[in-house]
Structure 1
Amino acid sequence: MIYLAIIICLLCSAFFSMSEISFVSADRLKVELDKSSQNTLSRIATHFYKNGSRFITTALVGNNIVNVIYGLLVAKALEEPLTALLHNDIGVVLVQTIISTAFVIVFAEYIPKAIGQAKPNIVIRIITLPFFLIYIILYPITLLIGWISKLFFKLFGVKNEDDTVQPLTKVDLDYFIESNVNQQENADEARILQNALEFSDIKVRDCLVPRNEITAVGDDLTREELIEIFDKTGYSKLPVYKEDIDDIIGYIHSIEMFRMGDSREWQSRILPTIFIPESLPAENALKQLMQKKRSLAIVVDELGGTAGMVTLEDIVEEIFGDIEDEHDTQRIAMRKVGENEYIISGRAEVDTLNEQFDLQIPENEDYQTLAGFILHYSQEIPDAGEEFTIPPHFQIQVLRATGNKITLVRLRKIES
């Protein structure tokens, strides 16, 4: 009978140890999501997390109670055979301590904590109901211990943090996505969620169309000339300037050409734009565009000159990825065409290429794009069709270039 009681005490100790480690290791976001299912066990688990210190106190009190009982039972069970064997009181106590401690460490600490840490959320669901019953039984004791603890904190001037629920952070959400979303079945959804989490860190400079790629028109063009530019570029809206591109006065939408009928004065249809700095967070730019009901903003540098432009679509694409429209034929091309061979837009960012294709292109504060990388090493704008090697393992062929920029490149990575 006494051995059965010892086994029960070991199992109870294992239960408390497993409960404690699974509580601190569990994915809180999963617990919060389970709560929305209106399941009773999920609501109890959420209550535990709102009263975390009481949960831990209950586990510690329960564990200590069963460990004391276990120690007394082991001492009683082993006293007679050990006394007959050793004939020494100190030796008997020493052997009792070693045996009882070894069993507690292996069966009530190491094994249950390893299980609780490996599958914390599953364990939390399993132990919730029995632990809740123990929680109620031991509540007066845990309340008293909590009161005594607060008294000691005040006496020694230690600040005691109340049981307030810490809000979930971006790190919590990002970890949940990485560890719980099947990257093959839900790759697009996972990417959108991760982009949404990172959106607050994105600046306007990360998603703008640079100054040298803006197609803008002067306000002195005729209606026919403007229609021709719309037709040639395929764009739906164009910035309008007075003197030069640093003097932008608004933008014109292609649909206005149809609303005007035969009117020649298209300038009266120019829509006012907003001006935003490069350093503005993209989420703030999005709010400004939506509040002012505009689809295009001009980005200015620290000297007030035009650094580029950004559209609603450019910002939204930071979350949802590329949205097919009339611009996309001219947007950033990045595709693998053979073994270690790629066709890439000069505008493609180096860190994106390294992440997507593992090209290991050296990163440097002097450049951000592939065109910048090439210019950094060649020190001149190569002609279309020109081929050369950038040590140690990049063979470059310029497929398309204008007088002042590289637009399309064939890159071959030479294996060492």
Structure 2
Amino acid sequence: MMDNIMIIFITLLASAFFSGMEIAFVSSNNLKIELDRSKGLLSGKILSRFNQHPSKFIGALLLGNNVALVIYGIAMADLLSSYITSILPQYLVSEITILIIQTIIATLIILFTAEFLPKVLFRQRPNAILNFFAIPAFIFYYLFFPVIWLFTGISGWLLKLIFGVKSLEQAYVFTPIDLNDYIRNFGGETSNADDVAQEIQMVQNALDFTNVKLRACMFPRPEISAVEENESLDDLRKVFIETGFSKVLIYKESIDNIIGYIHSSDLFKNPRDIPSITRSVFYVPETMLANDVLSMFFKQHKSI
């Protein structure tokens, strides 16, 4: 009995390890892994290798988990068999009844201790967990590698033959999501965090800019600096000096009727009046993304 209890305990730990590592791997920040590798960290080098062959690494984790579950099931059945027989009424004792009860008990234990709990815990800090368990994962990876290599090779051949898929392995391409996640979770790790706070905020704003709508960039009506088209050039110069802006909006009769804008450099052309140097504006809905409007400016060689 003690041997079975020890086997069950070890296999539960192994299953929890493989399940947790799987969720940590798919939840990890790949940019952080590559930065750790560039720093020469052993864990970073190991995890970077896993990133180069993700299907093989996931396959090794699944294989290890299945092996642990099989051994756990055998030990659990041996442990529970005599106990269940002793407590059940004689008329209920049968192989099917014992099997059903063994399955229910074993499944409930494995679901909580080796599936739900480790996945919740490992997902909290996936990169830290991966770094801590990188060496054990590396050992299991190469222990199961011959079997994984065989099965991934067969599956890759079948996919190519049937569906025309060339390879299971695809080079990972970093996206703004990786950078955004890295800044959010690891931006404060530097010793001079206060010095880089402004730079981090600038990068964060640049990443968030793709989701910003024009409505969020609009100024309140009383804060708009504009000049009526019939005002004098001296009044226009005064507005440029007071605001320090390089461009001033021009309206007709009401500030709600914007007809264009004037660049400060246009005043050096000796204009006769404001309408003669007023440049046209284009109108866009306030629900439009600011990033799309900025792209329009670039295409039309205009500045904000």
Asked if Structure 1 and Structure 2 have the same fold, meaning a TM-score greater than 0.5 normalized by the shorter chain, the answer is: yes
Name 1:119's counterpart in structure 2. 125
Name 1:279's counterpart in structure 2. 296
Task: State the 1:174 CA deviation.
Answer: 2.1
Which among 182, 198, 202 is matched to residue 192 of structure 1? Answer: 202
1:93 and 2:131 matched: no
Name 1:172's counterpart in structure 2. 178
Task: State the 1:151 CA deviation.
Answer: 2.9
Name 1:236's counterpart in structure 2. none
Checking the alignment, whether the CA contact within 8 Å between 2:20 and 2:118 is kept in structure 1 is yes
| Structure 1 pair 209–220 and aligned structure 2 pair: CA distance change class (3 A) | closer
Name 1:381's counterpart in structure 2. none
Q: Distance in 2 between matches of 1:68 and 1:218?
A: 85
Identity of aligned residues (%): 30
- Give the secondary structure class of the aligned counterpart of 2:179: helix
Checking the alignment, whether the CA contact within 8 Å between 2:262 and 2:278 is kept in structure 1 is no
Task: State the 1:159 CA deviation.
Answer: 2.8
Name 2:283's counterpart in structure 1. none
Which among 206, 209, 212 is matched to residue 247 of structure 2? Answer: 209
Q: Distance in 1 between matches of 2:99 and 2:153?
A: 36
Task: State the 1:215 CA deviation.
Answer: 4.3
- Give the secondary structure class of the aligned counterpart of 1:212: strand
**Residue type matched to 2:98 in 1?**
V
Task: State the 1:41 CA deviation.
Answer: 1.4
- Give the secondary structure class of the aligned counterpart of 1:105: helix
Unaligned stretches of 5+ residues in structure 1: 222-243, 248-276, 286-298, 300-309, 315-416
| Structure 1 pair 158–103 and aligned structure 2 pair: CA distance change class (3 A) | farther
1:41 and 2:43 matched: yes
Name 1:4's counterpart in structure 2. 6
Higher fraction of strand: 1
Task: State the 1:281 CA deviation.
Answer: 2.9
| Structure 1 pair 98–158 and aligned structure 2 pair: CA distance change class (3 A) | farther
Checking the alignment, whether the CA contact within 8 Å between 1:19 and 1:124 is kept in structure 2 is yes
| Structure 1 pair 189–89 and aligned structure 2 pair: CA distance change class (3 A) | same
Checking the alignment, whether the CA contact within 8 Å between 1:18 and 1:112 is kept in structure 2 is yes
**Residue type matched to 1:279 in 2?**
M
Checking the alignment, whether the CA contact within 8 Å between 1:200 and 1:281 is kept in structure 2 is no
Q: Distance in 2 between matches of 1:218 and 1:71?
A: 87
| Structure 1 pair 23–209 and aligned structure 2 pair: CA distance change class (3 A) | same
- Give the secondary structure class of the aligned counterpart of 1:163: coil
Q: Distance in 1 between matches of 2:246 and 2:34?
A: 37
Name 2:155's counterpart in structure 1. 149
Q: What's the C-alpha RMSD, in Å, of the aligned pairs?
A: 3.2
Q: Distance in 2 between matches of 1:56 and 1:196?
A: 34
| Structure 1 pair 14–33 and aligned structure 2 pair: CA distance change class (3 A) | same
- Give the secondary structure class of the aligned counterpart of 1:49: helix
78-87 or 209-218, larger mean C-alpha shift: 209-218
CA offsets, 1:272-327, max 9 Å, x none?
Answer: xxxxx983439x97xxxxxxxxxxxxx4xxxxxxxxxx5xxx8xxxxxxxxxxxxx
- Between the two structures, name the one with larger relative contact order (CA 8 Å, sep ≥ 6): 2
1:28 and 2:66 matched: no
Name 2:231's counterpart in structure 1. none
Checking the alignment, whether the CA contact within 8 Å between 1:201 and 1:281 is kept in structure 2 is no
Task: State the 1:95 CA deviation.
Answer: 1.0
Which among 74, 77, 88 is matched to residue 75 of structure 1? Answer: 77
**Residue type matched to 1:68 in 2?**
V
Task: State the 1:198 CA deviation.
Answer: 6.5
Q: Distance in 1 between matches of 2:104 and 2:202?
A: 56
Task: State the 1:196 CA deviation.
Answer: 4.6
What aligned pairs does 1:2-401 form with structure 2 within 5 A after superposition?
Answer: 2-86=4-88, 87-157=93-163, 159=165, 161-182=167-188, 185=194, 186-197=196-207, 209-210=247-248, 211-218=261-268, 245=277, 279-281=296-298, 299=302, 310=303
Checking the alignment, whether the CA contact within 8 Å between 1:83 and 1:89 is kept in structure 2 is no
Task: State the 1:106 CA deviation.
Answer: 0.8
- Give the secondary structure class of the aligned counterpart of 2:156: helix
Q: Distance in 2 between matches of 1:52 and 1:170?
A: 21
Higher fraction of helix: 2
Q: Distance in 1 between matches of 2:61 and 2:197?
A: 40
Checking the alignment, whether the CA contact within 8 Å between 2:34 and 2:48 is kept in structure 1 is yes
- Give the secondary structure class of the aligned counterpart of 2:169: coil
**With structure 2 as the length reference, what TM-score do the two structures score?**
0.67
Q: Distance in 1 between matches of 2:77 and 2:119?
A: 25
Q: Distance in 2 between matches of 1:201 and 1:99?
A: 49
Checking the alignment, whether the CA contact within 8 Å between 2:183 and 2:200 is kept in structure 1 is yes
User: What is the aligned length?
Assistant: 233
| Structure 1 pair 218–3 and aligned structure 2 pair: CA distance change class (3 A) | closer
Q: Distance in 1 between matches of 2:25 and 2:166?
A: 21
Unaligned stretches of 5+ residues in structure 2: 218-244, 249-260, 280-293
